[in-house]
Chain A
Amino acid sequence: MNVSFRLNGKGVELTNVSATTTLLDWLRIDQNLTGTKEGCNEGDCGACSVMVTDQTGAKALNACILFLPQLDGKAIRTVEGISAPDGTPHPVQTEMINHHGSQCGFCTPGFVVSMATAHLNGDTDHDVALAGNLCRCTGYAPIIRAAEAAENASIPAHMVEIPPILRTKSNEKDLIPTDLEGFANWYEANPDTTLIAGATDVGLWVTKHFSDLGQTAFLNRIPELRGISETDDEIHVGAMTTLTELLETMKTRYPSFATLIKRYGSTQVRNAATIGGNIANGSPIGDGPPALIALDATLHLRKGSKTRQTPIANYFIEYGKQDRDLGEFVTGVTIPKVADNLHCYKLSKRFDQDISAVCGCIWIEVNNDIISKVRLGYGGMAGIPKRATHAEDALNGKAWSEDTIRQAMDEMSKDFAPLSDMRASAEYRMQTAQNMLLRVWHERNGETTLVHEVTA
C-alpha cells in the first residue's frame, strides 16, 4: 500500500509497504534512525515514543505497535527531530542534561519525546505524561526535575507542526475506508477482515504472536466513527474515539470514570487505543466495560445497512464470545447523562500502566437512606466483564447501611468464581471485589479511603 507522511519536517512517500510494518521497524531498519529504541515491542516501556501530529493535535505514541497505514497524512517527529534543525537542543534536552536525567541513556530518547510533546501541549502533569516511559536507572526523580525546569521555556518553532493533507490511497488488500456506509457494506461481504482501530492489542498479534492478519481494514478515517456528541440526556461516543478524548469528556461528567481512564495504559496507549476496540475485543480485563456497565451504557452495532442497539452488559456472552454477528461491527456507545453516582476502582500490582487484577465500577443511588438503584460492573472476576447481580439484589431497595453492604459482599461470592493468575489469586480477587463495596460506604461517610489522598 502507499503511505505518505512528514518525518522530522521532511515529506516521505512510501509505495508498496506492508500494512503491518511497524513504524519502529521502519525507522530503525529502513531509515537507520536508531535514536528511537525498542525496549519491549509491546507498547509497555515507551522507549520507542514518537510524537505524531494530526488535525487533533500532537500526541506521544508508541512506534513499536503503530502500523505505517495509521500514519498516512500525519507528521512524525522522532528524537532526531526534537533538537532544532540547526542542532540547538530542545529545552527538555538541555534540562535533562542539567538535571542528570539520563544514566544508561536507553530510555532517554523516549522520555525526551514524551516530555517535548507534553511541553508543546502545555501539559505539566508529568507523572501522567510519563507514566508510559519506564526507566530502570534513575528512579525518575531527576527526570521530573528536568521536566519541571523546562515548563516555562518557550516552545521551539520547529515543534509546531501543520500536518499534511490527508490523502486516500488504499487498495483492495489493505483497506482504509473513509465512509461509513461503504465500509459497512464491504465488511458485510468480507467478514473475515481484521479490523484495526488503535492497534494497541492487534499490534501485539503481529510483534509477539506473528499472526498473519490476512485482509485488514484500518478504521481511523471514518469520520462518523470518531468523536463525542452530546444531547440533553445522552453522550454518544464513536467507536474510534480514543481513550484520551473520552478522558477529557468524563472529567466533568463522571470524574470517577475519568480517574479510571487516567490509569488505562499510559498516555501513549490512550492516545492510540479506542473505546470501540476496548469493547469489541471482549477482553475480561478491559477497563472500559465495567464502567460502561455500571453507567448502563448502550452499545451500537451495524451490519450492512442494519443498525441495532443492546445494553452493553449483554454484549459479553462468555470468554471469547460476544453478541456480534459476522460482518457486524461496533459503531459507538451511548452513555446516559444523569446525576453522578459512579465509583470506579482499579486494582493492579502497579498503580500506573498496569492491567487490572480487578476493576470494580459501582453505581449506587440512595434516596432517603434507601438504596434505590444499583448496578455493579466488574472486570477481572469472570471470563467477561460482568454484573454482580446477586450483590445488586442484596442492595436494591435495602437500607443504606454497613450491614446491607456486608450482606451484599457475602452475596457477591455467588456472582463470581475468579481465576488465579500472575496478577492475583482467586481469593484476593474476591476479597478485594467485595471490599470495593465497603469502600463506597466509607467514602460516602467522608473517610479517607485512598492512598493517593494522603501525603507525608
Chain B
Amino acid sequence: MSIAKPLPHDAAALHVNGSARYVDDIPTPHGTLHLAFGTSPIAAGTLNSMNLETVRAAEGVIAVLTADDLEFDSDVSPSAHDEPLLAEKTVAYVGQPTFLVIANSHTAARKAARLAQFNITEGTPIFTIEEALTANSRFEDGPRIYSKGDAVAILETSAHTINGSITMGGQEHFYLEGQAALALPAENGDVLVHSSTQHPTEIQHKVAHAIGKPMHAVRVETRRMGGGFGGKESQGNALAVACAIAALKTGKPCKMRYDRDDDMIITGKRHDFRIDYTCGFDSDGLIQAIDVKHYTRCGWAQDLSLPVADRAMLHADNAYNLPNIRIESHRLKTNIQSATAYRGFGGPQGMLGMERIVDHIAQTLGMDPAIVRQKNYYASGGSFPGKMKPQTTPYGQDVTDSIILELTDALMSSSDYSNRRAAADDWNSTNSIIKRGIAMTPVKFGISFTLTHLNQAGALVHVYQDGSIHLNHGGTEMGQGLFQKVAQVAASRFGVPMDAIKISATDTAKVPNTSATAASSGTDLNGMAVKVACDKIRDRIAQHFAKLHNCTATDVSFSEGYVRVADKNYTFPEAAQLAYQARISLSATGFYKTPDIQWDRIKGQGRPFFYFAYGAAITEVAVDTLTGENRILRTDILHDAGASLNPALDIGQIEGGYVQGAGWLTTEELVWDQKGRLRTHAPSTYKIPACSDRPDIFNVDLWDGENPAETIFKSKAVGEPPLMLGVSAFFALSDAVASCGPTFADLQAPATAEEVLAAIGRTQNV
C-alpha cells in the first residue's frame, strides 16, 4: 500500500538539482517577446490621457497597447466583471495596469513601462475603514448579518461585559516564484498558455473571452507553481490574458513575469480587518453572548472578497459553542490593491477576532486564557447522550465531529503546559527586561468551498499496455504535495509501485471545468475523482480476469505489483498487456462531487462544510520590554489530518503553515503612504519569517484518528488549517505584554516590535 507512507514530494529530486521547471524556465522559441505593464501612479482619478511616445521609442519596444487597442472584452475579474485588463476611463489604485509594453526582452519591457507621462485628474481616494463607511463605499448593498439566539438581549443581562477592537493587517503572499505566464500562438487563432496558476480553467475562460473565442480554442497547462497560497487563484489572470492578446497580435510567443516589486504593487493580498466586539460572560468565563462587527478593506475591485468575508463570519466562532451571537460584516471598497484569496480565506481573520475576545475575557477575570478556551469548546463529537442535540454553529450547522477537547488535553499534557506556565510566571516576577509569554489556541476550520457548485473534480487515468499509468486531474501543484498524495491513491488502487505512475501537468484539454486548487480541497476532491477513474479501469480488468478464471470480479485483487486471481499471479504489466489484447478499455475519467452540503449565504444558514479540521498549538515567547523585540522559543502542535495519506507532507504543511501564520501576526507589515502607495513592496521592506525566526523547539504531531466523513481514505484536508495555529504566537506575545502592567494589553496585529512596545506602554497606563 502506498497510502499513509511518508514519501517525499514527487518533484523533490528535481527541486534539489534545479531541474524542476517553472513557467519562466520553459525553453521558448526564438523571437519570444516579453511584456510589462505600465501602472497608475495615482490612487483615484480620471485617466484623461497617456503620453506613450517615449515608451514606444524606447530600446527594444515592439508595441504598446492601451485599453483602446483591445478588440474584445478583456476583463480579468474572477467574479464581478469589474477589472478591465487595462484601465479605461478611471484609475482606482496605485499600481493599476494602464498600458502594456511588448518588447524584445524582459528588462526592455520593464524599463520602457516606466517612461509614460500620465494626464490624470485626481479624485478623492478612499483608504481607511472610516472613509469607506462615511462614503458608503462597499461591495453588496449593505452589511451581511448572520445570527443565532439573541445576542443583544442577553448582553444586557450578562454578569460581565467587555468591549474591544482588534485590527489585523493584510499579508503579502510572497510566493517565491512571481506571477508568470507564457502564451504560444497556435493555428487558427488558438492559443496555448502556460500559467503559474491555481486555477487553469479560469485562465482558459478569461483568455477565451479576451480573444473572442470559445473555451475550446484555449489550452492552459500548469505543471507547478513556485508557491501559491491563494495568490495565484485569480491574480494570474491579467498576465495570461495579456500574453494571449499580445501573442495573437504579434504572431509570436509572449511571456510575462512580474518583477518582485511589480508583483507586490500590482497584485492583491490578504484582506486586512478591524473587528469590534461586545461580549457577555459569567464569572467562570463561560461566554453568554457576542455581538461582533467585521470591517474589511477589499480594495478597488470585488475579486473574491464576498466569499472571503463570508468565511471570516463562518469562523467567528472558531472552536467555541456560542449560544447567542450576532455577526455583522462590512465589505468596503477602497483605493488600494484588490485584496484576494490567501490561505485561510478570511477564516484566520474571523478566528483571530474570536480568540481576542477569549483573551480579553481571561484577562478581565484574571484566569488562564487556556482554561477559558477549554470551558467554551464545542462538545466532543458522538457524545450527545439520549435526546441531547448536537451543538450548532452560528450558521446552523451541527458540530458532530469535534475532537478539540481531547486534542487540547493531549497537547497540554505532551507540552507540559502547566509547569511551563508556572515557570513563565516565575520568570516574569524576577526579570525586569525580558518577559515570557505562553499561549494555547485552537483551530476548527470548515472544509468545502462555500460556493457549493465548486465542490467537484475530474480526473483522467490511462493504463498503457506496458502497465505504466498516466495520471491527470484538475488540481494544481504549488508545493503542497497534492500530486504525490493523489499518485499514492492511484498506486494503491492498482496495487502498483509509485514509479509505475506518471504524474502529469494540469491541462484544461485533459480535464475540463475544474475548480481552483483552493479551500484546502485539492486532495479531497481530486483524490476521490482519481480513485473513481482508477476503480473503473480496475473493475474492467477484474471482470476480464474473472471471466478468464471462472470466478467473480471480487475474487480478483490488485496488490504488490500483481493482479491476483485464483492461483494465478499476473504482474501488472502482464495483466495490462492481456487486457489490451482482449480489447478492454484502459482509459477512464473520474468525477466526484462532495455530498451532503447546502448553503444559503444570504441567510447565513445551512451546512456549508462537509466536515471540520481541528488542531491546537502552544507557543512560548520572550519579549524585550525595552524595544518590543521578541522571539518564539518553543512551539508544540497537535493537528488533525484525519487518517493521513502522507504524514511527511502533512507535517510539512503544518510546520510551514504555522510559521506563515506567525509571520502574518508579527513581522509582516504592509505600509501604504498618504497617497496610497505601497511602501513595503520588496523583501527589503516586507519581512516574511527568515530561517532563525522558526521556533527553537518545534514539536509537531498528527492527531491519531480518522475523518468520520467519507473522504479519501478517511483523510482530512491540511492546506489552510495549520496557518491558524500561528495565532498562538500572537497570544503568547499578548500574554507576555499582559505581565508588564495591570491594564488589558490590547495588542494589535501585526505585533511588530513597535506594536509590542506600544502595547506594553498601554498596559502600564492605569
Q: A421 vs B22: C-alpha distance in the bound complex, in angstroms?
A: 36
CB–CB A447/B224 < 8 A: no
Q: Quick check: is B48 within 8 A (CB to CB) of the other chain?
A: no
CB–CB B691/A143 < 8 A: yes
Across-interface contacts of A435 in B (CB, < 8 A): 626-627
Say how far B172's CB is from chain A's closest CB, in angstroms.
Answer: 10
Q: A35 vs B620: C-alpha distance in the bound complex, in angstroms?
A: 38
Say how far A158's CB is from chain B's closest CB, in angstroms.
Answer: 14
CB–CB A102/B16 < 8 A: yes
> Which residue among B13, B433, B481, B698 has the maximum number of chain A CB atoms within 10 Å of its CB?
B433
CB–CB B684/A131 < 8 A: no
CB–CB A456/B633 < 8 A: yes
Q: Quick check: is A454 within 8 A (CB to CB) of the other chain?
A: yes
CB–CB A32/B27 < 8 A: yes
CB–CB B8/A97 < 8 A: yes
* Count of residues in A whose CB is under 8 Å from the partner chain: 89
Q: Quick check: is A127 within 8 A (CB to CB) of the other chain?
A: yes
Q: Quick check: is A126 within 8 A (CB to CB) of the other chain?
A: yes
CB–CB A347/B434 < 8 A: no
Q: A106 vs B226: C-alpha distance in the bound complex, in angstroms?
A: 5
CB–CB A126/B8 < 8 A: no
Binds B, one of A163-171, A174-182, A232-240, A424-432: A424-432
Q: Quick check: is B183 within 8 A (CB to CB) of the other chain?
A: no
Interface string of A76-102 (1 = CB under 8 A from B): 001110110000010011001110111
Say how far B553's CB is from chain A's closest CB, in angstroms.
Answer: 38
Across-interface contacts of A78 in B (CB, < 8 A): 18
> Which residue among B224, B432, B655, B691 has the maximum number of chain A CB atoms within 10 Å of its CB?
B691
Given A98-B8, A139-B655, A451-B624, A106 and B16 touching (CB < 8 A)?
Answer: no
CB–CB B176/A456 < 8 A: no
Q: Among residues 243 to 264 in chain B, which have CB atoms less than 8 Å away from a CB atom of chain A?
A: 259-261
Across-interface contacts of B228 in A (CB, < 8 A): 104
Q: Quick check: is A350 within 8 A (CB to CB) of the other chain?
A: yes
Q: Quick check: is A308 within 8 A (CB to CB) of the other chain?
A: no
Given A39-B260, A100-B648, A454-B633, A349 and B667 touching (CB < 8 A)?
Answer: yes
Q: A143 vs B259: C-alpha distance in the bound complex, in angstroms?
A: 26
Across-interface contacts of B682 in A (CB, < 8 A): 40, 42, 44
The residue from A93, A135, A349 contacting B669, defined by CB atoms under 8 A apart: A349
Across-interface contacts of B21 in A (CB, < 8 A): 34
Across-interface contacts of B16 in A (CB, < 8 A): 89, 92-93, 96-97, 101-102, 108-109, 112
Given A138-B655, A352-B690, A453-B434, A42 and B683 touching (CB < 8 A)?
Answer: yes
Across-interface contacts of A127 in B (CB, < 8 A): 691-692
Say how far B34's CB is from chain A's closest CB, in angstroms.
Answer: 10
Interface string of B620-640 (1 = CB under 8 A from A): 101110111111011000000
Which residue of A has the minimal Cβ distance to B750?
A: A349
Given A102-B12, A136-B660, A454 and B434 touching (CB < 8 A)?
Answer: yes
Q: Quick check: is A121 within 8 A (CB to CB) of the other chain?
A: no
Interface string of B352-376 (1 = CB under 8 A from A): 0000000000000000000000000
Q: Quick check: is B81 within 8 A (CB to CB) of the other chain?
A: no
Q: Quick check: is A188 within 8 A (CB to CB) of the other chain?
A: no
The residue from B12, B17, B176, B754 contacting A35, defined by CB atoms under 8 A apart: B17
Q: Among residues 49 to 94 in chain A, which have CB atoms less than 8 Å away from a CB atom of chain B?
A: 78-80, 82-83, 89, 92-93
Which residue of A has the minimal Cβ distance to B479?
A: A104
The residue from A34, A141, A455 contacting B24, defined by CB atoms under 8 A apart: A34
Which residue of A has the minimal Cβ distance to B172?
A: A136
CB–CB A47/B754 < 8 A: no
CB–CB A47/B631 < 8 A: no
Q: A297 vs B305: C-alpha distance in the bound complex, in angstroms?
A: 56
> Which residue among B18, B629, B648, B660 has the maximum number of chain A CB atoms within 10 Å of its CB?
B18
Across-interface contacts of B17 in A (CB, < 8 A): 35, 79-80, 82-83, 89, 93, 109, 112
Q: How large is the interface on B (under 10, 10 to 19, 20 to 34, 35 or more residues)?
A: 35 or more
Q: A106 vs B693: C-alpha distance in the bound complex, in angstroms?
A: 20
Across-interface contacts of A439 in B (CB, < 8 A): 433, 626
Q: A141 vs B175: C-alpha distance in the bound complex, in angstroms?
A: 18
Interface residue SS majority, chain B: loop
CB–CB B20/A105 < 8 A: yes
The residue from B174, B684, B694, B753 contacting A140, defined by CB atoms under 8 A apart: B694
CB–CB A349/B752 < 8 A: yes
Q: A285 vs B431: C-alpha distance in the bound complex, in angstroms?
A: 32
> Which residue among A136, A350, A354, A448 has the maximum number of chain B CB atoms within 10 Å of its CB?
A136
CB–CB A455/B696 < 8 A: yes
Across-interface contacts of A357 in B (CB, < 8 A): 754
Q: A289 vs B11: C-alpha distance in the bound complex, in angstroms?
A: 46
Q: Among residues 682 to 740 in chain B, which have CB atoms less than 8 Å away from a CB atom of chain A?
A: 682-685, 687-694, 696-698
Q: Quick check: is B679 within 8 A (CB to CB) of the other chain?
A: yes
Given A127-B692, A140-B694, A454-B434, A104 and B177 touching (CB < 8 A)?
Answer: yes
Q: Among residues 590 to 644 in chain B, which have CB atoms less than 8 Å away from a CB atom of chain A?
A: 620, 622-624, 626-631, 633-634
> Which residue among B17, B178, B434 has the maximum number of chain A CB atoms within 10 Å of its CB?
B17
Q: Quick check: is B15 within 8 A (CB to CB) of the other chain?
A: yes
Given A79-B17, A109-B18, A449-B433, A454 and B622 touching (CB < 8 A)?
Answer: yes
Q: Quick check: is A103 within 8 A (CB to CB) of the other chain?
A: yes
Say how far B471's CB is from chain A's closest CB, in angstroms.
Answer: 19
Q: Quick check: is A7 within 8 A (CB to CB) of the other chain?
A: no
Q: A103 vs B754: C-alpha distance in the bound complex, in angstroms?
A: 33
Which residue of A has the minimal Cβ distance to B700?
A: A141
CB–CB B225/A136 < 8 A: no
Q: A447 vs B624: C-alpha distance in the bound complex, in angstroms?
A: 12
The residue from B25, B105, B630, B757 contacting A431, defined by CB atoms under 8 A apart: B757
Across-interface contacts of B154 in A (CB, < 8 A): none
Across-interface contacts of B551 in A (CB, < 8 A): none
Q: Quick check: is A219 within 8 A (CB to CB) of the other chain?
A: no
Q: Quick check: is A339 within 8 A (CB to CB) of the other chain?
A: no
Q: A347 vs B634: C-alpha distance in the bound complex, in angstroms?
A: 22
CB–CB A34/B25 < 8 A: yes
Q: Quick check: is B443 within 8 A (CB to CB) of the other chain?
A: no
Which residue of A has the minimal Cβ distance to B263?
A: A40
Say how far A410's CB is from chain B's closest CB, in angstroms.
Answer: 16
Across-interface contacts of A36 in B (CB, < 8 A): 18
Q: A19 vs B602: C-alpha distance in the bound complex, in angstroms?
A: 62
Across-interface contacts of B114 in A (CB, < 8 A): 210
The residue from B15, B433, B624, B659 contacting A108, defined by CB atoms under 8 A apart: B15
CB–CB A449/B691 < 8 A: no
Given A435-B627, A451-B631, A100 and B8 touching (CB < 8 A)?
Answer: yes
CB–CB B227/A137 < 8 A: yes
The residue from A47, A354, A422 contacting B671, defined by CB atoms under 8 A apart: A422
Say how far A303's CB is from chain B's closest CB, in angstroms.
Answer: 33
Across-interface contacts of B110 in A (CB, < 8 A): 210
Q: A36 vs B22: C-alpha distance in the bound complex, in angstroms?
A: 11
Which residue of B has the minimal Cβ distance to A432?
A: B627
CB–CB B433/A139 < 8 A: no
CB–CB A452/B680 < 8 A: no
Q: Quick check: is A6 within 8 A (CB to CB) of the other chain?
A: no
> Which residue among B651, B657, B687 has the maximum number of chain A CB atoms within 10 Å of its CB?
B687
Q: A33 vs B21: C-alpha distance in the bound complex, in angstroms?
A: 11
Across-interface contacts of A431 in B (CB, < 8 A): 757
Across-interface contacts of A428 in B (CB, < 8 A): 754, 757-758
Across-interface contacts of B14 in A (CB, < 8 A): 105
In the complex, the 3 A-B pairs of residues with the closest C-beta atoms, listed nearest first: A35-B18, A104-B479, A106-B226
Identify 10 new A-B residue pairs, CB closer than 8 A, beyond the known A100-B649, A210-B111, A449-B624.
A34-B21, A102-B9, A102-B15, A103-B479, A106-B175, A138-B659, A140-B690, A350-B693, A428-B757, A456-B696
10 contacts between A and B (CB under 8 A): A25-B107, A28-B24, A40-B682, A100-B12, A105-B15, A139-B656, A347-B627, A351-B693, A431-B757, A435-B626
Binding site for A on B (CB under 8 A): 6, 8-9, 11-22, 24-25, 27, 105, 107, 110-111, 114, 173-178, 224-229, 259-261, 420, 431-434, 436, 478-481, 620, 622-624, 626-631, 633-634, 648-649, 651-652, 655-660, 667, 669, 671, 679-680, 682-685, 687-694, 696-698, 752-754, 757-758
